[in-house]
Each structure stands twice: as structure tokens, then as C-alpha cells.
Amino acid sequence: AQSVTQLDSHVSVSEGTPVLLRCNYSSSYSPSLFWYVQHPNKGLQLLLKYTSAATLVKGINGFEAEFKKSETSFHLTKPSAHMSDAAEYFCVVRKNSGYALNFGKGTSLLVTP
Amino acid sequence: GAGVSQTPSNKVTEKGKYVELRCDPISGHTALYWYRQSLGQGPEFLIYFQGTGAADDSGLPNDRFFAVRPEGSVSTLKIQRTERGDSAVYLCASSLGSGISTDTQYFGPGTRLTVL
């Protein structure tokens, strides 16, 4: 079965410094992987999506993620954090059957001034 | 354009009561999904509709939970004999289709269900 593990439940960075949110996946074949962001009291928003077209995926708001098959990783990065990036981030893989998504437990990103 | 909408935004009920949660997907989206998010957790899949039919209901926790989408648009999630453990945010998502270029899921704001 497809699953993801988010390695950090909380990450704290200073404004203007790089962001790294780590995610490892488990999959029996080439997976579809996503990152979603959830701001307080707002709906989930898709940041980016990997579907095997390119290993480096660029998303919205300056975020990007790199698919590394050898490491079974799909880490999310951003060169310079902004205060508005503070939110909950979910790494997601599509389930084996059908089109349902399997979410990780989430990483809470705190950005300090 | 309009996104996915869910009503009500909040629902408080008593243990043992019946509740209905409504989802209006994005117009033209053929696929609709229900998820449940407990406090401090990621969303968990409940059920997926393609058109009017439930293509995958493997995530429904038990037979107290049921969902319908009679005309292939609006969907209702129904919970009978609610229990305190059903308290969570219920999320709905829709996608244009199920192919690689059309399967991005767009989420609604959720319905927060509290069972007292």
C-alpha cells in the first residue's frame, strides 16, 4: 500500500531563511505525490504535484520538491521563508486503488521574525 | 470561479442523533471525495464518487456512515447514531476527472462536527 511519513511534526525557521520539510514515501511502483498546505481556518490548498514527468517539481509561492527514487523521498523546500508561510503542510500519496489520497500526519511550520 | 462549498460549517449534535453534511463540488467536476480530519492528524479518506456511483467506499469506518450523490453533483454524507468519536472536521474535495491531467483534488473548507 502507498504511504508517506513526514519526518518532523514541527519545524521552526526565521523569516528569510530556507525551509526544508521532509517526507519519505512507500510505494510498490512509481507513485503520484503531492504537497498540500492548510492555513488556520482555511481549506487545503495544493502546493505542487509529482507525476513522473520531471523529478524537480515547482509549485506555488516559491515552493519546490524533488522526487528521489533512490532515497524514496519527496522533500519540500523554499529558499527564503515568509511570515505568511506559517501553516500545516501535508505530504500526500495516491492510494493504490482508485483515486483517493493518503495523507501524512503533517508538519507544522512556524516562521519567526 | 466558485470553489467547493460545504454546509454547515459547524454542526453540534448529541450522541445518538442523526446528521447530514452537504458538499457542493466545483461545477463540472465528475469526481467527489469525502475525508475526515481528526485533531492533529492528516485527513483520512472515507469515500470516492465517480458520477453518481460510489467507486470506492473502503474508508467508511462502519455502517453508520453512508453517502449519496444522486444526480452526480451535490453529495450528502449521512451519519446515524452519532458517537463522540465521530467528532472531527469532515472535508469534501472534487476533481475534474480521474486522469493524470484532471485528477487534482480541490478541497472545501470543511464541516466541523462536534458530538456531545
Give the start-to-end residue ranges of the domains of chain B: 5-115
Give residue A97's pLDDT: 57
Q: Do B41 and A106 touch (CB under 8 A)?
A: yes
d(CA A29, CA A1): 10
Secondary-structure class of domain B5-115 per CATH: mainly beta
Find the range with the poorest average confidence among A30-44, B76-90, B92-106.
Answer: B92-106
Q: Is the separation of the CB atoms in A85 and A102 below 8 Å?
A: no
* B5 at interface of A, judged by CB pairs closer than 8 A: no
Task: For B97, name the nearest residue in chain A, comparing CA atoms only.
Answer: A99
Any A CB within 8 A of B53 CB:
no
Please state, in angstroms and rounded to a whole number, the distance separating the CA atoms of residues B116 and B72: 33
Q: Is the peptide bond before B8 cis (omega within 30 degrees of 0)?
A: yes
What integer is the mean pLDDT of A39-48? Answer: 89
For A21, the grid coordinates are: 520539510
- Rounded distance between C-alpha atoms, residue B84 and residue B114, angstroms: 8
Cα B22 to chain centroid, rounded: 8
Counted across chains A and B, CB pairs separated by less than 8 A come out at 60
Residues 6 or more apart whose CB falls under 8 angstroms from that of A75 comprise: A20, A21, A22, A23, A65, A66
Residue B64 DSSP label = T
Per the structure, the complete domain to which residue A8 belongs is given by: 3-112
State the CATH number of the domain containing residue A71: 2.60.40.10
Mean pLDDT of B26-51: 93
Q: Is the pLDDT of residue B1 over 60?
A: no
